[in-house]
Amino acid sequence: MQSEPAFVSRRDLLSLIGAVSGSAAMYHAMTSLGFASDSGYKGPIKLEGDPKGASVLILGAGLAGMTAALELRKAGYQVRILEFNNRPGGRNWTLRGGDSFTELGGASQTCEFDQGLYLNPGPWRIPYHHRALLDYCKRLGVALEPFIQLNHNALLHATNAFGGAPQRIRDIKTDFQGQVSELLAKVTQQGKLDEAVTKQDREILLQALRYWGALDNNYAYKANLISAEFRGYAKDPGGGLTAVPIPGEPVHLSEILKSRLWVYLQNFARHSFQTTMFQPVGGMDMIGKAFAKEVGDLIRYDAKVTRIQQDDSGVTVTYTDLKSAGTPQQAKADWCVCTIPLPILSQLPLEIGDRMKAAIDAVPYSPSVKIGLQFKRRFWEDDEAIYGGISYTDLPIRQIAYPNTGFNGAGKGVLLGAYLFDGPNAYEFTSMTPAERVRRAVGFGAMIHPQYNAEFENGIAIAWHRVPFTLGCAGNWSDQARGEHYENLCQIDGRIVLAGEHASYIPAWQEGAILSSLDAISRLHERVVKT
């Protein structure tokens, strides 16, 4: 009986291409497979035509809602926003010392970070190709600084490999790339690629492999000053009598393969995480605050929406004031742009058609947990020369991210001590108390940085499935659900249109929220002008 053919999934293929060949090759492969594309933003929106004083009620003062408010008011609409929180931004959120937060179940936390330190529990980085968000940052005066996604001196960690000792990203990346290059060079020399490349191309390929893989003149990857130029030294070049460098000993390919640390190399090749990435100076909520400077007078804060009704003449939204548990109030408008996250919207009495209702119910939200930890000193810089970037581990905490500001300072610092996204560990941590989440993050982190035990001061932990205003991190579309429900979710239903990252092909990113909003109000404006 003939055995089943071995197939490589597109995801595994992209991972291998990215790990071996780098960011450029992976991006081209993603493009050819239909995975990658730049933002569709083409510049500031132009809503031409007279809306004749039409009114629009916007539900939610996140980036999608405030984008809609800014552009619709500019076009001549009467605009109001109802917002659940007492601040603008939604998931565009930064926690600083003194901030308090109560999650579902009643557990409350007060951030104890020192002045100037913060955690972005929601979005924390901006890709260079998120052109709409970058444009609004420029227009609204939001200062940006680099976000370091790849730091070659950060760490990769596997519990059951290398005796549990973390490895430098630089070492694993260089040794993996070098030894794969050596194998490919041997195959090329043996003529195994004769049918695939010409003789001239074979010579060029061998030369490329030697340079790219740090191979010696015999096309071997070894411990020498050639490989040391890429992976670093056991003893760095110095001055005087101790100047002679000693190359580091490569990690054997078999050990790298068994450790599966190569899996993490794809994080630096993925289109979403390629350099240059950015963050707002002072915290991600600087973007939300900048929007609020423009449209803050339109926002009614502490307004919990409880019902959405519509008829041929307009939309009526019932809400309660969270600061005064009095009689429910109503807001009315000709049209409604609703950016309420779908897990909440699905629970509200909502007068819409069956197709949109089915679409709202079809999209679950991903679990996510972020934990910020304050330490007495920046030991990752002092002891390990890690300035920014992210370390990856197979421990439940998944990632440790280092601050991208205050480099080489003498003060305290805050690490992102855990970032769990999807999977059983995210649900497990969500089920814990905030104090237990922090305790576990410190315990696991100490397996990578032993300094945790002596240097830890305080922490805060946000589990997004317990955040009252979202009940989850971001829309988690399946291919089947998107094919069946996406267009129905985005259609204008009577006088209501939805917007938010869930109504985009860039879920979980602020760019998706803004682009969905611009698309929604463009179609809404076209209908208003025609009617």
Clarify whether residues 491 and 352 are in a common domain. yes
- Report how many domains make up the chain: 4
User: For 396, left (φ over 0), alpha (ψ -120 to 50), or beta?
Assistant: alpha
Let me know whether 355 and 293 are in one domain. Answer: yes
Does residue 327 form part of some domain?
Answer: yes
Task: Please classify residue 301 by burial: count the beta carbons closer than 10 Å to its beta carbon, then call 0-12 exposed, 13-18 middle and 19+ buried.
Answer: middle
Residue 346 placed within a domain: yes
Identify the CATH number of the domain in which residue 525 sits: 3.50.50.60
pLDDT at 285: 98
**Do 486 and 357 have their domain in common?**
yes
For the chain, give percent helix, strand, coil, nearest 5.
40, 20, 40
Same domain as 457, residue 379: yes
Confirm whether 263 is domain-assigned.
no
- Where does a domain end: 466, 498, 513? 466
256 lies in a domain?
A: no
Residues 462 and 498 in one domain: no
Residues 350 and 407 in one domain: no
Q: Assign residue 264 a region: left if phi > 0, alpha if psi is -120 to 50, beta otherwise?
A: alpha
Please tell me the distance from the alpha carbon of residue 372 to that of residue 160, in angstroms, as a whole number.
26
Tell me: the pLDDT tens digits for 65-91? 999 999 999 999 999 999 999 999 999
Are residue 448 and residue 516 in the same domain, yes or no? no
The pTM score is: 0.90
How many Cα atoms occupy the beta-carbon half-sphere of 136 within 13 Å?
A: 29
Q: Which domain holds residue 373?
A: 95-153+276-283+366-466
Residues 302 and 438 in one domain: no
pLDDT of 4 reads 35
CATH number of the domain residue 240 falls in: 1.20.1440.240
pLDDT of amino acid 310: 98
Residues 110 and 144 in one domain: yes
Nearest alpha carbon to residue 63 among 43, 86, 83, 37: 83
Do 244 and 378 share a domain, yes or no?
A: no
Compute mean pLDDT per 10 residues along the chain, 531 residues long, and list them.
Answer: 38 46 40 50 92 97 98 98 98 98 97 98 97 98 98 97 97 96 90 78 91 95 94 93 94 96 91 94 98 98 98 97 90 98 98 98 97 98 98 98 96 97 95 98 98 98 98 96 97 98 97 97 97 83
CATH number at residue 133: 3.90.660.10
Contact between residue 393 and residue 263 where contact means Cβ atoms under 8 Å apart? no
CA-to-CA distance for 398 and 420, rounded, in angstroms? 6
Q: Could you tell me if 240 and 109 lie in one domain?
A: no
